[in-house]
Chains A and B, each alone.
Chain A
Amino acid sequence: MKRSTVGLLFALPALLVIGVFFFVPVLIALCLSVTDFDIYALADLSNLRWVGLRNYTELLSTPLFWRALGNTLYFTLLGVPLSIATSVGAALLVNARAARFKGVFRTALFAPVVTTVVAVAIIWRYLLHTRYGLVNYGLGRLGISPIDWLGDPHWAMPAIVLFSVWKNFGYNMVIVLAALQQVPEDLYEAASLDGASAVQQFRHVTLPALAPTLLFVSILTMAGYFQLFAEPYVMTQGGPAQSTLSVLYLLYEEGFKWWNLGRASAVAFVLFLMMFAVTLVQLRLGREAVS
């Protein structure tokens, strides 16, 4: 047997699994997205119509879709930088020479990642409660009047961002921490011999060393944040006044609540194309920055 055949044989099981469980469903979804598959079609397939691109054009002319897209972008633009900054900050603190009980802190900061969203969301709902919540109690001590976190359309998304960042930063922190430990100590020694301050060391030694990791982390985080769903699902059900309705939430409602599978598939493809485009841009920018 030729080497390439052997290689192919080894890869075959994985390819088959990917084909059956990924490419075939994606293809079916693509077909669905150009039909009006709904509850009537489920009852009787003769009620299924070919609608061409109507699902897409209707979607793009629905204010709710743009609202969901706006909410998702708002969440991503606010959440991703905040999340990465928090991760880097936490990683630097845990990695600092002066830090004691590193293991304890690492575990404690990572803990939110492995807890279930539903359970911690309930606790966060109490923390964010307008009249009895700890957050508003703390703000009150600072002289800030209570904020209706989950009930005010202007504050609900920031509250969700806060919750998501808290829930997710530990994951990136661990990755950044690993990258930090790879930075050769002698670079810092050389820098301090040259008289670089701590800030300058961070700017000219730490950041360049972290750049590839940060690119990787930012792509993953963005992909995750674009798929915002669980947090609004358990905290606000997309409300108040649809201010936390994300694109994926819209897809869920169309597909699994109303059984409009045609339209839901169209939402899925639009979301996919957008994430693909943003990732390409990120890669391009990232490569330039790294090189």
Chain B
Amino acid sequence: MGQLLRLGLVLLLAVLGGCGRDSGRSELRFWAMGRESEVLAELIPEFERLHPGVVVKIEQLPWTAAHEKLLTAVAGDSTPDLCQLGNTWIPELAALKALAPLDARIAASAVVRPDDYFPGIWATNVIGGATYGIPWYVDTRLLFYRKDLLAQAGFASVPGTWAGWERALAAITARGAGRRFGVLLPLNEYEPLLAFALQQRTGLLKDDLTRGNFDSPEFERTLGFYAGMFAHGYAPPVTNSQIANVWTEFGRGYFAFYISGPWNIGEFRRRLPPALAGQWETAPLPGPDGPGASIAGGASLAVFRRSRHAALAWQLVEYLSRPEVQVRFHALTGDLPGRRAAWAAAGIAGDSHTAAFRDQLERVRPTPPVPEWEQIVTEMRILAEHVVRGEMSVHDGALELNRRADRMLAKRRSLVAEGVRL
């Protein structure tokens, strides 16, 4: 017992000593995910040199657990000072009133200039008129395709319209004689359908974002276009887990088009056989009548409302937003920087694979900024799968999706009707 007591005292003193030593310096807790969290270790020392007495503590979260961890932290009042946030999570955390609005700081900043960012990406950070995040790196979805297979089918370049693209898919599929498909649209991914749906002129939600707009003729046309690719046999009705290895299958020519994001540029370079090196390319998404929009993806840097070092956290956000730091960040990760200045400085778009992304990023659109969106878009995927498998007509699928969206938005509707500020 005496020994235990002594051990306890020693521990207590150690803790007290630790507190005493740290009181002169500020510690910034920074939550980051995935590869970016590892790379930060190389960027932070320079910031700490510029700000003596500041220690940045990077806490790494795996992407798969990050969302739950963030919500739990909000519920338990243990949020960090700042965080890397997938920009689809911003509406949710803003609804939880967990994030600090940054508008005043942006207005006073010499570094963060909103007009240097891609407008569609910037818009994902603005909820109800307030800005809650600064784009760090960006992504979107577009076409990866086999140039050789497209040429064999008689097309010199990717058509820019839905109708033209469908013709190309038909030609490729017909030449494949059952062993080749025009495009791979995994049924467990909602992104391809979402990208096409974002191209429509009317929004995906209506009435002050309290009702679905999936019963509109425009959405029905989009869903019909998507389901048609399976019905015509241009796309195999498979999920990702049935394609053991996307790169191998792409290399074998099982499909000619694939809708994916910038991370796959590096993967395609690494994993495709050398003979195919010059045979694949990227292209912006076709739209209903000319080059179409796509999803505004990526991650932002956000400061938490409960942070006790908000000013300092903002300085770190500014530091990471400097064009020269963004260029270094791009060199370390391959992530596409959020700022046009960094693109120009690093000559990123000089490479043909990335140039298509530069083009597409000027035409990206945010998804509706409501916390229920993730759930709605998941239902969209599920119902699209039912339609593709022939269990529902396109019309019924669209109506059912609208019903479900309306049900998920019921609480939001009643709060808005009561005049609660969301």
Contacts and interface: CB of A to CB of B under 8 A. Distances in A.
Interface of A: 36, 38-40, 42-44, 47, 125-126, 129-130, 132, 148, 150-151, 153, 235-237, 239-242, 256-259
A118 to B, nearest CB: 12
Helix, strand, loop or mixed for chain A's interface? loop
Contacts of B242: 129-130, 148, 150-151
Interface string B85-100: 0000000100111000
B188 A237 contact: yes
A239 B188 contact: yes
A241 B391 contact: yes
14 contacts: A39-B371, A40-B422, A43-B95, A43-B97, A44-B97, A47-B411, A125-B241, A148-B242, A150-B239, A150-B241, A151-B241, A151-B242, A236-B241, A237-B188
Contacts of B4: none
A47 B415 contact: yes
Contacts of B385: 239-241
A142 B85 CA distance: 52
B411 A38 contact: yes
A132 B239 contact: no
A42 B74 contact: yes
A39 B389 CA distance: 33
Interface of B: 68, 71, 74-75, 92, 95-97, 187-188, 238-239, 241-242, 244, 371, 374-375, 382, 385-386, 389, 391, 411-412, 415, 420, 422
In order of increasing CB-CB distance, the 8 nearest A-B pairs are: A151-B242, A43-B96, A258-B375, A39-B371, A43-B97, A241-B385, A43-B95, A129-B244
A36 B389 CA distance: 34
A104 to B, nearest CB: 33
Contacts of B188: 237, 239-240
Contacts of A38: 411
A259 B386 contact: no
B75 A40 contact: no
B72 to A, nearest CB: 9
Contacts of A44: 97
Contacts of A151: 238-239, 241-242
B22 to A, nearest CB: 31
Given A39-B96, A240-B385, A47 B241 contact: no
A237 B97 CA distance: 31
Given A43-B97, A240-B385, 19 more contacts: A38-B411, A40-B411, A40-B412, A40-B422, A42-B71, A42-B96, A43-B96, A47-B415, A47-B420, A125-B241, A126-B244, A129-B242, A148-B242, A151-B241, A235-B241, A236-B241, A239-B239, A241-B385, A241-B386
A153 B188 CA distance: 13
Nearest to B375: A258
Contact of A240 (B74, B75, B95, B239): B239
Contacts of B382: 241-242
Contact of B411 (A36, A130, A132, A150): A36
Contacts of B374: 257-258
Contacts of B391: 241
A40 B421 CA distance: 11
A257 B242 CA distance: 24
A39 B95 contact: yes
Nearest to B68: A256
Contacts of B187: 239-240
A44 to B, nearest CB: 7
A236 B241 CA distance: 8
Contact of B389 (A130, A132, A241): A241
B75 A42 contact: yes
Nearest to A130: B242
A103 to B, nearest CB: 37
A40 B210 CA distance: 14
Nearest to B98: A43
Nearest to B391: A241
A87 to B, nearest CB: 29
Contacts of A242: 382
Nearest to B414: A49
A102 B75 CA distance: 53
A40 B95 contact: yes
Nearest to B72: A256
A149 to B, nearest CB: 9
A44 B98 CA distance: 11
Nearest to A234: B241
A36 B411 CA distance: 9
Contacts of A153: 389
A93 to B, nearest CB: 34
A259 to B, nearest CB: 6
A151 B385 CA distance: 12
A38 B391 CA distance: 32
A130 B391 CA distance: 22
A151 B388 CA distance: 13
A151 B75 CA distance: 38
B271 to A, nearest CB: 17
Nearest to A235: B241
Nearest to B244: A129
